[in-house]
Structure 1
Amino acid sequence: MNTMTPEEVCSAIWKRLLHCNLLVLSAAIAIALRLAYLSVSSNSSEDQPIELALWRIVLLIVFQSAPLVWAHLIYQGYKQKRIPIPLYQTMALLRMPLAIWAGGCLITGIVFWPVLSQ
């Protein structure tokens, strides 16, 4: 059983943030491409509001990815006794990545949500 140092915990948190950022970026690119295609197409489909609602659901699910991955990391780390540091120190390590994640999700939501609710 290998225990993680605070630096390794911090590294694992930031690595998971990077992976989840790629997920948000790919979802944003897919939405932007699809919205561009919908604006170019001349026919207004009846299914367009349903598709836009599905894209909003995709955004919501993607926005939950990093907190869920972090919760799993921390839970498994303490359950398997791999993280020897106190929980408050782990939460302090999580403060900056969580702030960056929340800011990125807020900006992405502000950009896409009004367009997706038309």
Structure 2
Amino acid sequence: MTKTWDTTRKSIGTLSIWLGTGALFAPRAITRLLGVDPAATTDDVALPLLVRLVAARNIAMGAALLVTPVPQARRTTELTMLLTGLDAAAVLTSFRTGDVARRSAALSVIVLSTASAGYLHWHRD
């Protein structure tokens, strides 16, 4: 394992825990910040539950990245990047149907690009 990979793994894990914790405790605020239709963030009764489910997954994956022994951590990192890519694809799909703002789509493209670049970088090592 390279030092760069280990640093990136720990950074992704820490960021996942922080973002997950924010979404867990403030699901409506997080979705408004990400550009979800304001009416949906106040009226949709299922929104907090769905956001909290994703938040719990982010916290669990972040913790797994931080505590998994180095030989298995690479697989955990790949799984985290795959889930991040799927999340980004879901946001892009919602953007096409008009359910989320342009800033959410732009952020998702950045996240998806970063995850893809990381995946390709780690598979070259």
TM-score tier by shorter-chain length is 0.3 to 0.5
TM-score normalised to structure 2 length: 0.36
**Structure number with higher helix proportion:** 2
